[in-house]
Amino acid sequence: MTQTCLITGGAGFIGAHVTRELIKNNYKTIVLDDLSGGFEENVPREAQFIKGSITDHELINKIFEKNTISYVFHFAAYAAEGLSHFIKRFNYCNNLMGSVNLINASVNYGVKCFVFTSSIAVYGTNQLPMKESTIPSPEDPYGIAKYAVELDLKATSKMFGLDYIIFRPHNVYGEYQNIGDRYRNVIGIFINNLMQGKPMTIFGDGEQTRAFSYIGDIAPVIARSIEVKEAYNDVFNIGADMPYTVNQLAEVISRVMEKPLTKIHLEARQEVVHAYSDHEKAKTVFNFEPQYNLEQGIKRQVEWALKVGSKKSKDFSNIEIEKNLPSSWKS
């Protein structure tokens, strides 16, 4: 009998890719997305699409009542670490309480495993490379919400027996990314800048380091994780090994796009300066080994972006705190 997976945020970036992988693996898929950051055209035709929010607990319960959900893949979130300081209520309502709605329903309706995409934002400024054994110390509301969900899943597993798998991906990029979002996904922002003939905008001196991870390496591992019993009730960093500075990233993107290297340095913002993680655990349990280097992955994203065209950047309309908001986000 075909088993059913519920994918929240499946019209978004990572969710759209994992949904495709699950379909390849012969699962029935139901995508729940409010389209606040994703696009309905990202949802595969084979998937059932439901427009709605994870904050709507009545809708969540109806979905579980009408369908026998075996697995939940929870991607829906507003993933903007820097902006999360200024949208605390929105962040916690969506990223924390929306997750609780899903966890409650998963317990009540007998879900076999709850797969949660957390983030290396839970580590904060910590020893490098960040390891799963490192005690998290998040420094922004986004990371705090992600870590709270992790802790709730662990407590729920002990109390009610709900199995879970937690992934902590980082700086994922690739096809289906919303390149029109001005607050998150630096690679998408840079590509969109150059497609519009604008300079790339960099906060601070650009010497921040990140290990940028291509979605084609990440999505298949997340999708098949439910078939790896050794992974149950555990946490895994997942992503690329090699860190790059933002300045180096800008050079790679301009080279791939065959555009002049034009960039503007803005005032520095409050952020973790260096963030990359160790992946030995994922390599051991999933035989995870990235196949794409940064230039190869960016080339694939650029080819896709040129087909779909540039996107007009949208302003976030629900800023809750104006104090210390970067000036570039005010216009």
> Active-site positions?
142
Omega prior to 129 cis, within 30 of 0: yes
User: Do 202 and 263 contact (CB within 8 A), yes or no?
Assistant: yes
Q: In which element (H, E) is residue 82 found? A: helix 81-84
Burial class (CB in 10 A: 0-12, 13-18, 19+), 89: exposed
In DSSP notation, 8-28 reads ETTTSHHHHHHHHHHHHTT-E
- Round to whole Å and give the CA distance between 168 and 59: 27
SS3 at position 64: helix
User: What size, in residues, is the chain?
Assistant: 331
Q: Give the type of residue at 286.
A: F
What does each C-alpha distance from 172 to 14, 52, 147, 215, 221 come to in angstroms?
8, 25, 19, 6, 14
What does each C-alpha distance from 122 to 2, 91, 134, 142, 287 come to in angstroms?
35, 14, 10, 8, 24
Q: Which residues pair with 123 in a beta bridge?
A: none
